[in-house]
Structure 1
Amino acid sequence: MWIGLVLGGIVALNAGLAMVTVLRQPRDISATWGWLLVLLLIPVAGFGLYWLFGRKIASSKLNALLNQQRLGIDRAVAAQQEAVALGAGLIGRATAEAGVPELVRTLLQADGALVTTLNQATLITTRPAFNDRLFTAVRAARQHVHIEAYTIEPDATGQALRDLLTQRAAAGVLVRILYDPFGSHRLTQAFWQPLRDAGGQVTPFIAGRLARANPRINFRNHRKLAVIDGSLGFLGGFDIGSSPKRVAITRDTALALRGSAVAVLQARFLMDWNTAAKAQRVAMADTYFPKPRANGQVTLQIVSGGPEQPLEAIKLGYLRLIAMAKHSVWLQSPYFVPDESLLDALTIAINAGIDVRIMVPRVTAQPLMAKATRFYLDRLVRVGAQVYFYQAGFLHNKVMVVDGRYLVTGTANLDIRSFSLNFEIAAFVYSTDLAKAAAAQFTKDCAASLRYTHAMAKVKPRRTRLAEELSRLLAPIL
């Protein structure tokens, strides 16, 4: 009898601890139930899984992010919000198109995403082209180089960039590198020593007391951007270097920017740097925000996403754009694990006759995510979506093209982690030329892809379906 009482007490204690652990911080209801089930059904070991995947980031860190001043950008955002409320057009002729003012206002309200105009923007779609542009820009830097990265590998590319940065720092250029210690876990302190010796500054993003040994999987800085002399910026999915243990990434996308949008990237970097840096915080100064010289035709909004936000700004932008679609919605993402709102938006578009196409890689380095991806793709292919499995390596693109007129690209995958758990960044681009270029690349990628049909989904073995279903159940906490 006493054994039963002890076991009952253990179960009750485990249940109580599970409730306190999960409910003490707000989170999505599906994730709440998911973690409760894990902790209740897997006593003791479940808390180990929660330590790795489920812990929320410290509120002090989130408050530091929220409290960073963005020079005059916040005031500019308030002025733009007021202008949109009064019916003013902010992005030229496109504001006359149905849904565009509402999209602009959504992003302004959700993230304070400043509308910038007269930018020059170039689409970069291959790693060699990206590396060449970045290295050339760093080589030409005269004042400062700011790089924020999720993954920097200590391979030939990573070492070459470090050596170039070391040369520029020795020549008097201010060099600051902000990296995620999980995504860049192969780096060592010795790797950065030459750059530090030359006067460069390097810091991990919110590493905490455990630094590189921090086991937390979520709440990672997945942003990837670079700002050179405050006048040239890069934003996109490219990592620096290649891991020997990963599937080779053969397709990705980035934007090279000149114009007023670079100031937004600069502000984003400095906010993140000042949150992570301890003794090397940077005072906001005009020298980091030179007057733009570009005279381009591209209008865009740069949107940040992160767990400090009360709203999932990037996802809201996706939902609004899908609702605006009149003809087509084309998506590329390494992973496709949407929540119900995004899944419903795409289903509504398909049922309304919109040409919805989704492309994911056939092979990935994350088998659990791949299985969950296929579960959701089966749901959409059943109602008429066109689905493609890219076969020429790992498709790392994060791109959406709507009606051949609007483009979104950045670092956010189409999954719950990117929209609510990690720190991400994306550009919502109001440019027919760039959208058409991205659509043309999508069409080219189709030639290297396998079309996946509902007939193929129906003949899957039962064990494959079961594995995908089980993976889907973990989607809210992946």
Structure 2
Amino acid sequence: MQYVPLELVSAAVLLLHIAGVVAAAHALMHTRTSQGAVAWVFGLVLLPYFTLLPYLFLGSKHFTGYVELHHSRMARRRRLDDPEQIALTAQFPPHPAAQRYAAISAMLGVPFLSGHQMALLINGEATFKAIFAAIAAAEHYVLVQFFIIKDDPLGRRLQAALMERARAGVKVYLLYDGVGCHDLPGSYCNDLRASGVQVHPFASRRWRNRFQLNFRNHRKVVVVDGWRGFVGGLNVGEEYLGNKPPLSPWRDTHMALQGPAVSDLQLAFDENWHWITGQQLPLLPPRVTDGQATSLIAATGPADAQETCSLFFIQLINAAQKRIWLTTPYLVPDSALIAAMQLAVFRGVDVRILLPSRPDHRTVFLASTLYAHEAVRAGIRVFRYKPGFTHQKVMLIDDDTTVIGSMNLDNRSLRLNFEIAALTIDTAFATEVEAMLRDDFTLTKEIELQDYIHTPYLTRVLMHVARLFGPVL
């Protein structure tokens, strides 16, 4: 047996510790939260053998290059005081209730506009029936972006729909996330390209982001001919149709919209496309509808100067006067969100959270369970959906405001992922969402105060351990 010389081992240990100190300095300067900075610095300095590799995957908090591109496009195309934006606001004056959320509009640089038609799409069958019908009717172009696309029956239906339109002369553009679609075979995209579909994975051009698990593009966007838009929580896979036990039946929500906000929906896609390809797409303006709803497209992500997703939720919660009902598959909020919900309870607001009763990710489920018990102690009502897994990301505020999109209440959505949602002010649409959520609540079990004490001690320990990983969940 050959032994490694002690000098070589000592040199390797020394180099690891030096690398750990260098990485710790980087973490100190660039980690967004103090809790995350403390965790990374101590881990990298004291235990670089275990933390250097995870830091390579999870540590960076900046998109060099993308940030500059994003900010330049924001400055060029998203200023609220631009004459074009002012004229658009005059043409589509928002509902007066939008003033409650003026801070969101100012933060994102996107105006509230009226003139929208909305359609609530409950679960996978309704969602993909509407999306495939819109794609089949496309005359000019189709923009498609999903976090996950599976090479299964639903994925192949999407593939066939896009290939058919491309062969008919329609421009078809597809973006998918490189990590979310890690198991998508190359043949899937090759067949699309052979039919004329332009396909690209979302990732950074920098070599280091080939190893990055952060900065995933979690958005789900479809736009057809510039005037028909879709946004929500569903990805492309048979499980989203409820066809894969043990999580079935799968509960999810999407929405269709027509009106001026579709322009911002496709601009969000165009920015991602420009980052990947260096090309800007020729986009058509939305068509005028006879709808009355006021809406705003909230596109958030790690390239923003502020933590826009977290601030988005905080402003919505702070503006609530009567009710906050929200659904999320993962409840791993930051302290600011928890405080905002607690203050809402003190204001007399009915705060309810709908969570799954079955885990799709065990560690996240354990952490979410602990946060759920803490929320109940703060006066927030928390419910577990019993029939299957609920993946929907929906928010109902008072009697007039809804949010439907891709945003979860976890650190990835709040700080690390690119997300998108439609914020809508319309009493009629909110009434539809309320009816949907009331139906959901009839299929739940409410978490009680005593449930935590009755949980086995070892499970409680695991819940607290899981919460330590909250910054990377």
* Alignment TM-score, normalising by the size of structure 2: 0.90
Q: Quote the Cα distance in structure 2 between the aligned partners of 1:216 and 1:68.
A: 24
**Residue 65 of structure 2: SS of its match in structure 1?**
helix
- Give the alignment of 1:45-194 within 5 angstroms: 45-68=50-73, 73-76=77-80, 78=82, 90-94=93-97, 100-104=98-102, 106-194=103-191
Identify the range of structure 1 (322-331 vs 24-33) with the bigger mean alpha-carbon deviation: 24-33
Q: Quote the Cα distance in structure 2 between the aligned partners of 1:453 and 1:313.
A: 33
Asked if the contact 2:74–2:109 (Cα under 8 Å) also holds between the matched residues in 1, the reply is no
Q: Quote the Cα distance in structure 2 between the aligned partners of 1:167 and 1:400.
A: 36
Q: CA deviation at 1:69?
A: 6.5
Q: Which amino acid aligns with 1:38?
A: G
Q: Which amino acid aligns with 1:197?
A: A
Q: Which residue number in structure 2 is paired with residue 282 of structure 1?
A: 280
Q: CA deviation at 1:41?
A: 4.5
**Residue 263 of structure 2: SS of its match in structure 1?**
helix
Aligned pair partner of 1:219 in 193, 204, 215: 215
Q: Which residue number in structure 1 is paired with residue 465 of structure 2?
A: 470
Q: Give a deviation string over 1:185-242, Cα, whole Å, max 9, x none.
A: 121221122221121100111254679x934221100011010011100011111123
| Unaligned residue ranges in structure 2 (runs of 5+) | 1-5
Change (3 A) 1:317 1:69: closer
Q: CA deviation at 1:147?
A: 0.4
Please say if 1:242 is aligned against 2:238. Answer: yes
Q: Give a deviation string over 1:18-39, Cα, whole Å, max 9, x none.
A: 4223124252222211222332
Q: Quote the Cα distance in structure 2 between the aligned partners of 1:242 and 1:214.
A: 28
- Give the alignment of 1:63-462 within 5 angstroms: 63-68=68-73, 73-76=77-80, 78=82, 90-94=93-97, 100-104=98-102, 106-206=103-203, 208=205, 214-242=210-238, 247-248=247-248, 250-278=250-278, 281-283=279-281, 285=282, 288-462=283-457
Q: Quote the Cα distance in structure 2 between the aligned partners of 1:370 and 1:347.
A: 22
Identify the range of structure 1 (236-245 vs 188-197) with the bigger mean alpha-carbon deviation: 236-245
Q: Quote the Cα distance in structure 1 between the aligned partners of 2:462 and 2:81.
A: 46
**Residue 388 of structure 1: SS of its match in structure 2?**
strand
Q: Give a deviation string over 1:85-104, Cα, whole Å, max 9, x none.
A: xxxx952342xxxxx42412
Q: Which amino acid aligns with 1:22?
A: A
Q: CA deviation at 1:15?
A: 5.3
Asked if the contact 1:314–1:426 (Cα under 8 Å) also holds between the matched residues in 2, the reply is no
Q: Which amino acid aligns with 1:219?
A: F
Asked if the contact 2:80–2:110 (Cα under 8 Å) also holds between the matched residues in 1, the reply is no
Change (3 A) 1:45 1:103: same
Q: Which amino acid aligns with 1:74?
A: R
Asked if the contact 1:81–1:109 (Cα under 8 Å) also holds between the matched residues in 2, the reply is no
Q: Percent identity?
A: 31
Q: Quote the Cα distance in structure 1 between the aligned partners of 2:245 and 2:149.
A: 14
Q: Quote the Cα distance in structure 2 between the aligned partners of 1:282 and 1:249.
A: 40
Q: CA deviation at 1:134?
A: 0.6
Q: Which amino acid aligns with 1:103?
A: Y
Q: Quote the Cα distance in structure 1 between the aligned partners of 2:93 and 2:305.
A: 25
Asked if the contact 1:299–1:430 (Cα under 8 Å) also holds between the matched residues in 2, the reply is yes
Please say if 1:17 is aligned against 2:22. Answer: yes
**Residue 117 of structure 2: SS of its match in structure 1?**
strand
Asked if the contact 2:251–2:390 (Cα under 8 Å) also holds between the matched residues in 1, the reply is yes
Identify the range of structure 1 (377-386 vs 136-145) with the bigger mean alpha-carbon deviation: 377-386
Q: CA deviation at 1:180?
A: 0.4
Change (3 A) 1:190 1:8: closer
Q: CA deviation at 1:109?
A: 2.1
**Residue 145 of structure 2: SS of its match in structure 1?**
strand
Q: Quote the Cα distance in structure 2 between the aligned partners of 1:36 and 1:48.
A: 14
Asked if the contact 2:177–2:218 (Cα under 8 Å) also holds between the matched residues in 1, the reply is yes
Asked if the contact 1:302–1:426 (Cα under 8 Å) also holds between the matched residues in 2, the reply is yes
Change (3 A) 1:268 1:11: closer
Q: CA deviation at 1:249?
A: 6.1
Q: Quote the Cα distance in structure 2 between the aligned partners of 1:90 and 1:140.
A: 30
Q: Quote the Cα distance in structure 1 between the aligned partners of 2:27 and 2:214.
A: 15
Q: Which amino acid aligns with 1:464?
A: T
Q: CA deviation at 1:457?
A: 1.7
Q: Which amino acid aligns with 1:407?
A: T
Q: CA deviation at 1:424?
A: 0.4
> What count of residue pairs does the alignment treat as equivalent?
459
Asked if the contact 1:242–1:248 (Cα under 8 Å) also holds between the matched residues in 2, the reply is no
Asked if the contact 1:387–1:452 (Cα under 8 Å) also holds between the matched residues in 2, the reply is yes
CA RMSD, 1 decimal:
2.7
Q: CA deviation at 1:375?
A: 1.3
**Residue 299 of structure 2: SS of its match in structure 1?**
strand
Q: Which amino acid aligns with 2:95?
A: G
Q: Quote the Cα distance in structure 2 between the aligned partners of 1:343 and 1:81.
A: 35
Asked if the contact 2:264–2:297 (Cα under 8 Å) also holds between the matched residues in 1, the reply is yes
Q: CA deviation at 1:302?
A: 0.7
Q: Give a deviation string over 1:289-329, Cα, whole Å, max 9, x none.
A: 23523110110111111111011223222212212222211
Change (3 A) 1:249 1:14: farther
Q: Which amino acid aligns with 1:101?
A: Q
Q: Quote the Cα distance in structure 2 between the aligned partners of 1:298 and 1:273.
A: 29
Q: Quote the Cα distance in structure 1 between the aligned partners of 2:320 and 2:108.
A: 22
Q: Quote the Cα distance in structure 2 between the aligned partners of 1:7 and 1:214.
A: 25
**Residue 450 of structure 2: SS of its match in structure 1?**
helix
Q: Quote the Cα distance in structure 2 between the aligned partners of 1:77 and 1:265.
A: 20
Identify the range of structure 1 (260-269 vs 49-58) with the bigger mean alpha-carbon deviation: 49-58
Q: Give a deviation string over 1:348-407, Cα, whole Å, max 9, x none.
A: 112232211111101121111111111111111012221111121110111111112211
**Residue 401 of structure 1: SS of its match in structure 2?**
strand
Change (3 A) 1:7 1:196: closer
Q: Quote the Cα distance in structure 1 between the aligned partners of 2:211 and 2:246.
A: 20
Change (3 A) 1:170 1:14: closer
Q: Give a deviation string over 1:264-284, Cα, whole Å, max 9, x none.
A: 111111111111125xx234x
**Residue 338 of structure 1: SS of its match in structure 2?**
coil
